[in-house]
Amino acid sequence: DIQMTQSPSSLSASVGDRVTITCRASQSISTFVNWYQQKPGKAPKLLIYAASSLQSGVPSRFSGSGSGTDFTLTISSLQREDFATYYCQQSYTSTWTFGQGTKVEIK
């Protein structure tokens, strides 16, 4: 299975901050990475697919980049509603796997 490792596991940030979350794959996966946001007690929500494509309805302050083994999710100006846990997921092989999550907390 392809392992997806996120860093950091958690971070504290303030409203208006630029936030970057990293996801590293255990092997090269081209741009087959997707990003999700999960709020407490809620289902994950797709934010970014194919490494950099913004899902319909997702604010433009979210962006994704990367290829090969290293990927990033960036929130350009953190808003209060963005405090949540973020997961990456590889879609390169059909045993789909997720990163362990990055919790974004209020500083």
Partner 1 sequence: QVQLQESGPGLVKPSGTLSLTCAVSGGSISSSNWWSWTRQPPGKGLEWIGEMYHSGTTNYNPSLKSRVSISVDKSKNQFSLKLSSVTAADTAVYYCARRDATGWFDPWGQGTLVTVSS
52, 63, 72, 97: which one binds partner 1 (CB under 8 A): 97
Contact status: 42 vs partner 1 (CB under 8 A): yes
Does residue number 32 form part of the binding site for partner 1 (CB under 8 A)?
A: yes
Report yes or no: 102 and 85 within 8 Å, Cβ to Cβ.
Answer: yes
**Range list of β-strands (E), the chain:** 4-7, 10-13, 19-25, 33-38, 45-49, 53-54, 62-67, 70-75, 85-90, 97-98, 102-106
Which residue among 14, 16, 43, 81 contacts partner 1 (CB under 8 A)? Answer: 43
The nearest distance, CB 46 to partner 1, in angstroms, is 4
Q: Does 1 contact partner 1 by CB under 8 A?
A: yes
Q: Does residue number 2 form part of the binding site for partner 1 (CB under 8 A)? A: no
Which listed residue (10, 50, 77, 79) binds partner 1 by CB under 8 A?
A: 50
Please state the φ and ψ torsions of residue 94, each to the nearest 5 degrees: -85, 15
Task: Give the shortest CB-19-to-partner 1 separation in angstroms.
Answer: 19
User: How many angstroms from the chain centroid is the CA of residue 90?
Assistant: 11
